[in-house]
Amino acid sequence: MIGEGGFGKVYKATLRNGMKVAVKRSEPGNGQGCPEFHTEIIVLSSIRHCHLVSLIGYCDERSEMILVYEFMEKGTLRDHLHILNGESQKSSSQSELSWNQRLEICIGAAKGLDYLHNSSGRGIIHRNVKSTNILLDEDYVAKVADFGLSRLGDLDHTHVSTGVKGSFGYLDPEYFRCLQLTQKSDVNSFGVVLLEVLCTRPAINKSLPGKEVNLAEWGLFRQKKGQLENIVDPLLVGKINPNLLRKFGETVEKGLKEYGVQGPNMNDVVWDLEYALQLQQTARHREPHEDSTTDASWVLPVPAIQQLPSHSIPIDEYDIPMDDFTDTSRLYAHGVFSMLNIDDGR
């Protein structure tokens, strides 16, 4: 077993052809995950993208609900950012992410979300964007996962009226307040992920002083004060070009705007992040005397770095029953299960 969540347990398995897969199995008799299970199948059976996790097959018979995905060797983005209860979540195969790696991961995830919104033909809203739902393959390529809460919209409509679902700390305030889900809701949640990547602290941390508990609120406050560098991950001291940090902060601030109509779309976010990466790469090839404003040797003042606790806490889910989805074409992949050789499964 490699993981466990609200839906059930996740196992690493190997097909007879040698392909590694992740098998997510609902607990027998657990009816709570049924709508999410069918939504996952509907979404992933109709789309393919290099930055979205692939569904290999599924089983929906009697009381069994099983999903089979491509196996993502490096786990979740969250695994690489946080320490839980004083112990690192990282396995021996995982290492600290460099700033360039973090940027490329963010760009990949943003491209996946942009595809959902604008190129899938379905106007899909993910509705549960967070660092645990961004998976990394063996080359640290990011892929967005977990589409159980997704909504299939209409590109001709600006919003979908629906009950609130998602994870505290990542929820778009406008969606929470007005019950109107839009693509900008995903953009807002992704803005929290960007802060998480920069600061390596969880979206919600109740062990911190009151005004710092919510990362989005605290990060936005610091950004508006021009003090974002004060809460940057200490491991990144001296490694972030100042122009890049400024651009990154602006991207976060725009994404976290409370009123979504004023905010960017995911295509804008992709462009901004790619521009930020270009700033970093350009600065790396400059000599210090050429342009001090883009000198990659610029160092954040160490005393200014706020040493935030890096241990995290469980993020609560706030769920209101979801509308039923109509049936759609299914993946006929029962043959996959005859090939399964589950390493640690039941």
Residue 32 belongs to some domain of the structure? yes
Whole-number Å distance between alpha carbons of 290 and 167: 46
Residue 257 belongs to some domain of the structure? yes
Say if residue 211 carries a ligand binding annotation: no
The residue segments making up the domain with residue 278 are 74-315
HEC sequence for 48-70: CCCCECCEEEEEEECCEEEEEEE
Residue 296 has pLDDT above 80, yes or no: no
The CATH number of whichever domain residue 39 belongs to comes to 3.30.200.20
Residue 320 belongs to some domain of the structure? no
Helix (H, G, I), strand (E, B) or coil at 343: coil
One domain, residues 196 and 221: yes
Confidence of residue 177 (pLDDT cuts 50, 70, 90): confident
Confidence of residue 163 (pLDDT cuts 50, 70, 90): low
Averaged pLDDT, 305-331: 42
In this prediction, residue 126 carries a pLDDT of: 95
DSSP letter at 187? H
The string of pLDDT tens digits covering residues 15-51 is 999 999 999 998 765 555 788 899 999 999 999 999 9
Residue 101 belongs to some domain of the structure? yes
DSSP letter at 130? -
Confidence of residue 173 (pLDDT cuts 50, 70, 90): confident
Confidence of residue 179 (pLDDT cuts 50, 70, 90): confident
Confidence of residue 311 (pLDDT cuts 50, 70, 90): very low
Whole-number Å distance between alpha carbons of 187 and 183: 7
Averaged pLDDT, 98-106: 96
CA angle at 271 for the pair 267 and 276, rounded to the nearest 5°: 145
One domain, residues 38 and 122: no
One domain, residues 300 and 193: yes
One domain, residues 146 and 230: yes
Mean pLDDT rounded to a whole number for the chain: 80
